[in-house]
Amino acid sequence: MSGHGAKEFNIKWGMVIDLDKCTGCGACMTACQVENNIAPVLDASNKLRTLSWILVYELSNKKAAPDAEIAYLPRPCMQCGNPACVPVCPVVATDKNEEGGIVSQIYPRCIGCRYCMAACPYHARYFNWEDPVFPKGMEKALSPNTSARPRGVVEKCNFCHTRLMKAKDKARQEGGNPEALADGAYMPACADVCPTGAITFGDLKNPEHKVHELAKSEHAFRLLEKLGLAPQVYYYTRREWVRKLGDNYAATGKAGAEKKHS
Amino acid sequence: MGLDRRGFVKIVVGGVAGTLFTPVIWQSLDDVSIWSQNWGWIPSLNKGEVKAKAALSKLCPAGCAVKVNTVGGLPFAVTGNAANPMSKGGVCPLCAGGAQLMYSPARVKAPMKKVGEGKYEEIKWEDAEALLVEKLTPLKGQDGKIAAISGDETGTANEVLSAMLAGLGNTGFYVMPGEMFTATKGVKLMGGSGQPGFDIEGADLVLMIGADALDSWGTTVANQKAFAATRPTGGAVSAQYIYAGPVLNNTASVCDKWLAVPPTATATFSLALANALIEAGAVSSAADFGDYKALAAKAAAAFEAATGLKADALKELAAKIKAAKAPLVVAGASFGQGAGALDFVAAASLNVLLGRVGQQGGMTLLGNGAKAIASAADRDAAKDAASFLASVATGKATPGALLIYEANPAFALPQATEMAKAMGNIAFKVSFSTYMDETAALADLILPAPHPFERHDDALNPYGVAKATYLAGKPVVAKPVHDCKDPVDVLLAAASKLGLSLGFDTYADVIKAKASALGADYSALTAGGAWTGEAKGGPLTLGAAALAKAAPVALADKTVALAPVTRLAYGTASLATPPANTLTVRNTELLGKDLFVQMNAATAKKLGVAEGNKVKLSAAGSELKALVHVNEGVAADTAAVLLGFGRSAWDEYTKGKGDNVYKILTVSDEAGTGLKVWAGSTVTVAKV
Amino acid sequence: MKTQFSVAKFDQKLQERWGEVMEEKKQCKGCGGALPFVIGFVAAVIAGWVLFPDLIYSKKTQPIRFSHKVHQEQGMECSSCHSFRDDGSYAGLPNNEKCMECHADVVGSDPAEAAYVEQYAKTGKEVPWLIYQSQPDNVYFSHKAHESFECKSCHLDVASTDTPPVYYENRLSGYSKQTMKMWQCERCHAENGVSNACHVCHK
């Protein structure tokens, strides 16, 4: 499976999410919903119908009290180097072809077949079962950064891509190089609001960006590493049981992944 | 030559063929496909310049210092204010959706007068204000006839309210019973005065007893920032965090250690820890050390039975504390209220025992701060609304008018049903509220208050800060979305019509006066800055005299301790889960309209219930229906239920979802303090 | 009673009918030949190329007859109104705040200016200008990234017009006639060696 080479670009936008700092407060989910114009739904407890581009999972070490431990794991789109969703799209509505490696999703092009959803092992993709209906007046609080999607199309996290475009414009305006943004010049909404700063964001290939070193840490891991999809999202934890859970569908059937780095 | 049928067909065929060589079909197809991308019912985006304006977002109890992002002048997103020490760039989950909440369907859109049971009609502001004055006029000068409840812990609006009542010959100014209230009482029991503060930032070991300091307790975002600073991603951990409480909550999830302490055993845990520390050599020069030591020894003997923990766990903890350079004990109720002063005293006394009061990274004491209105009540003299409404229920208090400011006593007080009934004994109730909450739904007059981004407001010493802190904000938008008026402006105008001058016409002027009284620069504050004073200590006893009166809670058969759980994202005592936050509620917490009660497997077995069972929890003559979810992150013999659900007002996103835990919280009188307590409530659990 | 279907019978009927058709065809020789076809073809081509492009667009005029010429004559630069903001975003058309720097009150004698002052400056309502190049919500266009191009390589050359050009709105799609299509963006990107990745333009 990992025979396919990951697509490489000069810039590789990525995250290192420190699970030892995530309190599971949900600020990232709310900020994401606001940034990306996701309409509130009447029954948000029906998780098959909600759209959560970033979803905070609760992990448990499955031990009885008093040894019980939990950890929270925010899951954005992994922006895989070798995405499973892209080759299955019959209409090229999703692609990984832009510098930076963010997997795009073009809503007007999507035909809603949901092959990509079936392909994605991270459940990062969501289908619009309903049209976006905002409570009366709330459409005045829509973010200018993401177009509204009609029902019948698939959507997912794109690392708040419009923020990247804006950061590039700002760099151009200030005479800088839009292809060499400074660390922190471009931040997705989740990383921006996180009150514990659990999400570090930057160019994994740029040594001046914090994520470059962090991703190489012995405490860093990626979800389902052995599938060979080469996610651009790394997790970081000192808790071994959490790292082991990160690879729970490993090809070997055994928990715990070998460390591999790009 | 006439045109026969065949000729006509030829022309048509020629026409169709010719059309293929024109743009008609191809362009129409293209245009239709483009048309199909823009259905009229799909909202379109707003255009214009994107700006960020500093604001004080008092949606969470502490208030977040934020930047409100606007497009063409319309707020759309909220980010942290990196320059403000209370935010350092972070935002809480409630304030993160603040812009959307401006358009909440639950907002009160215009002044409303009650015209029948559950029926209201919109009235004009001038009529509403005239009605307010008309109802207050005959009650003027009769103490006990006009009362006010404030749900705002930090605003100078409280000074206006209490000064107005005082000017009208009344002393009935009450606050909703948050942590600040009980902690301030606790400090008094320890022979001190003022509001306690906790220097989490400066500590190298933070033991949180009850206090959910990294999610719903105190200055959440500042606490989270302090926590995060001690564990840089990829760097070394420079402080230990330990949580002792009934539930493996958000705070406990990132702590180095969680100690499962049932809500009925908080004081016992604290005192037993004191005993372990004393055994490890801790001594205090406090006069009551001898008595305290005896109490601690007694608690240690009861420790294992009361908490279900092993005594070794305490020894380990005591050793860690002894080894730390700057240990701090943060005392609080696990759900931010109702703990009574004794739980606070027991936990806070550990700081005294360790000599941590007034130290860097220790516990501090904050004064009342300079007042803007001299005749206003002192902040630490506040009285609690729960006791007040309890005496209204029994007829001991007979107010003719009740002013309710930013508070929801009909929902967020223990034995909520009783409290709502007590409100019925008051002839004229005015609710100053931004949202149609349960209390507004019972009021005789509802006066819509602006959303935080539409108003002037301030916050002095949000609970938990180690040093005096003052924030102020001004409106982000030119005018409110609905026909609102600032409640303080309305009160000031009413006061002046009642012949009372408080020296101000608007809340903005009051805040400016407050800032200058504190020595702060108003314009720097509204630009997103913060004013801070010094951190101070003060002489405190170990509170042994008060602690001696604490009565242990005994669990009857089939009875478990009730641990209400708060999560900031799901709302507060005065705010129901905002539409933008419903997504964050897990389906093991709320499913459709059913709330979950969480307990560990051993407790479930003992009660004879299993995952997914429908059960009812009964206490205080009320019951709550819920589904069982087995969760090992709950202390022994404890049932944990989320607070803030079971709304009967608000909007379709929250109304009727789950059940209200406040109904089954039983109020008891705390021995020796005269306070109402409900953190140690117990319930019986039965399958239905 | 059910009628039995007979293949043989059907075949016979078919052949009879075919005979009739061939007979008609012989009779009709000379009723126009290819001429009606050509007439229809030519008429359709003319209609398709001449009438249709006119019919598919409705014509709209700007709410205020804004004269670039007059403003230029006052010595104003294009960038006085159409400028980049500090964050690199493009201000596009000026809003009331900008216009009212000069036109808070009527300063000239043009009735269009008086109309602006009365209807917009005084009421605080923004002018609903018709944007010739307006792109849909799902497009992120950066003026900053295209700064090296002449404005008129994409926009109508309005710099010296006294009356704004007619706005042609497509009756089907609702977009302006000048709204650039995706293929145009892509062609120029390809010609200039710029990426045509989806995310380069879409949001």
Residue in the block written with tokens 């509505």 = A93
How far, in Å, CA of B581 to CA of B651, rounded? Answer: 13
Instruction: Indicate if B498 and B582 belong to the same structural domain.
Output: no
Answer whether residue B334 shows pLDDT above 90.
Answer: no
Instruction: Indicate if B307 and B188 belong to the same structural domain.
Output: yes
Domain assignment of residue B241, yes or no: yes
Answer whether residue B177 shows pLDDT above 90.
Answer: no
Domain assignment of residue B664, yes or no: yes
Interface check for A147 against chain B (CB to CB < 8 A): the answer is: yes
- The two beta strands, A125-127 and A104-105, are unpaired
With an 8 Å Cβ cutoff, the interface of chain B facing chain C consists of 1, 3-4, 6-8, 10-19, 21-24, 27-28, 30-32, 34-35, 37-38, 44-45, 48-50
Answer whether residue B192 shows pLDDT above 80.
Answer: yes
Whether A54 contacts A190, CB under 8 Å = yes
- Taking phi over 0 as left and psi of -120 to 50 as alpha, with beta for the rest, B263 belongs to alpha
List, for residues B446-476, the tens digit of each pLDDT value.
Answer: 999 999 999 999 999 999 999 999 999 999 9
Cβ density class B155-164: b for 16+ within 10 Å, e for less: bbbbbbbbbb
Say what the pLDDT of residue B402 is: 97
Looking at every residue in chain B, the average pLDDT score rounds to 93
Instruction: Indicate if B342 and B392 belong to the same structural domain.
Output: no
- pLDDT band at residue B173, thresholds of 50, 70 and 90? very high
Interface check for A175 against chain C (CB to CB < 8 A): the answer is: no
List, for residues B213-238, the tens digit of each pLDDT value.
Answer: 999 999 999 999 999 999 999 999 99
List, for residues B85-141, the tens digit of each pLDDT value.
Answer: 999 999 999 999 999 999 999 999 999 999 988 899 999 999 999 999 999 999 999
Say what the pLDDT of residue B524 is: 97
Instruction: Name residues whose C-beta falls within 8 Å of residue C91's C-beta, 6 or more positions apart in sequence.
Output: B49, C81, C82, C83, C84, C85, C98
Instruction: Name residues whose C-beta falls within 8 Å of residue C184's C-beta, 6 or more positions apart in sequence.
Output: none
Global confidence as pTM? 0.92
Domain assignment of residue B640, yes or no: yes
Considering only CB atoms, C174 lies closest to which of B13, B38, B48, namely: B38
Residue A155 with chain C: CB contacts under 8 Å: none
Say what the pLDDT of residue A253 is: 47
How far is A256 from chain C, CA to nearest CA, in Å?
35
How far, in Å, CA of B101 to CA of B226, rounded? Answer: 28
Say what the pLDDT of residue B666 is: 83
Domain assignment of residue B546, yes or no: no
Instruction: Indicate if B194 and B325 belong to the same structural domain.
Output: yes
- Taking phi over 0 as left and psi of -120 to 50 as alpha, with beta for the rest, A236 belongs to beta
Interface check for C166 against chain B (CB to CB < 8 A): the answer is: no
Residue A104 with chain C: CB contacts under 8 Å: 197-199, 202
Strand partners, B401: B146, B428
Whether B211 contacts B241, CB under 8 Å = no
Tokens of B208: 């949180």
Say what the pLDDT of residue B277 is: 97
| CB pairs A-C closer than 8 Å | 67
Mark yes or no for CB contact B80/A193 under 8 Å: yes
How far, in Å, CA of C173 to CA of B29, rounded? Answer: 10
The residues of chain C scoring below 50 in pLDDT are: 1-2
List, for residues B501-542, the tens digit of each pLDDT value.
Answer: 999 999 999 999 999 999 999 999 999 999 999 888 999 999
Tokens of B687: 């399958």
Say what the pLDDT of residue B348 is: 96
Instruction: Indicate if B197 and B345 belong to the same structural domain.
Output: yes
How far, in Å, CA of B651 to CA of C36, rounded? Answer: 68
Whether B673 contacts B546, CB under 8 Å = yes
How far, in Å, CA of B311 to CA of B329, rounded? Answer: 19
Percentage above 90 pLDDT, chain B: 84
How far, in Å, CA of B397 to CA of B399, rounded? Answer: 6
How far, in Å, CA of B98 to CA of B52, rounded? Answer: 14
Instruction: Indicate if B488 and B576 belong to the same structural domain.
Output: no
Instruction: Indicate if B598 and B676 belong to the same structural domain.
Output: yes
How many domains in chain B?
5
Q: What is the 3-state secondary structure (H, E, C) of B568-601?
A: HHHCECCECCCHHHHHHCCCCCEECCEEEEEECH
How far is B634 from chain A, CA to nearest CA, in Å?
7
Residue C139 with chain B: CB contacts under 8 Å: none
Instruction: Indicate if B162 and B71 belong to the same structural domain.
Output: no
The reply to whether CATH 3.40.50.10310 applies to domain A13-245 is no
In the predicted model, what is the mean pLDDT of residues B283-289? Answer: 94
Say what the pLDDT of residue C21 is: 67
Other CB atoms within a 10 A radius of the CB of residue C81 amount to 17
Answer whether residue B175 shows pLDDT above 60.
Answer: yes
Whether A203 contacts A212, CB under 8 Å = yes
Instruction: Indicate if B647 and B566 belong to the same structural domain.
Output: yes
Mark yes or no for CB contact B6/C89 under 8 Å: no
Indicate the domain borders of chain C. 60-93+129-200
Radius of gyration of chain A (CA): 18
Instruction: Indicate if B249 and B132 belong to the same structural domain.
Output: no
Say what the pLDDT of residue B333 is: 78
Say what the pLDDT of residue C18 is: 75
Residue in the block written with tokens 């496909």 = B33
Instruction: Return the residue in C198, C200, C201 with the most chain A beta carbons within 10 A, the one to mutate for interface testing.
Output: C198
How far is B586 from chain A, CA to nearest CA, in Å?
7
Q: What is the 3-state secondary structure (H, E, C) of B332-371?
A: CCCCCCCCHHHHHHHHHHHHHHCCCECCCCCEEEECCCCC
Backbone angles phi, psi at C92, to 5 degrees: 60, -125
Residue A158 with chain C: CB contacts under 8 Å: 199
Instruction: Indicate if B161 and B276 belong to the same structural domain.
Output: no
Whether B332 contacts B210, CB under 8 Å = yes
Mark yes or no for CB contact C197/A146 under 8 Å: no
Tokens of B503: 């020296």
How far, in Å, CA of A103 to CA of A82, rounded? Answer: 10
Residue A43 with chain B: CB contacts under 8 Å: 592
Instruction: Indicate if B498 and B557 belong to the same structural domain.
Output: no
Say what the pLDDT of residue A258 is: 46
Mark yes or no for CB contact C56/B27 under 8 Å: yes
Q: Nearest-5° angle of CA B282, CA B283, CA B287?
A: 150
- pLDDT band at residue B1, thresholds of 50, 70 and 90? low
Q: Which chains touch C (3 or more CB pairs under 8 A)?
A: A, B
How far is B453 from chain C, CA to nearest CA, in Å?
21
Percentage above 70 pLDDT, chain B: 98
**What single DSSP character describes residue B200?**
G
Say what the pLDDT of residue C25 is: 59
**What is the domain extent for residue B14?**
5-35
The residues of chain A scoring below 50 in pLDDT are: 1-3, 250-251, 253, 255-262
**What single DSSP character describes residue B420?**
H
List, for residues B538-588, the tens digit of each pLDDT value.
Answer: 999 999 999 998 776 666 667 899 999 999 999 998 999 999 999 999 999
Residue B83 sits in a domain of what CATH number?
A: 2.20.25.90
Say what the pLDDT of residue C1 is: 46
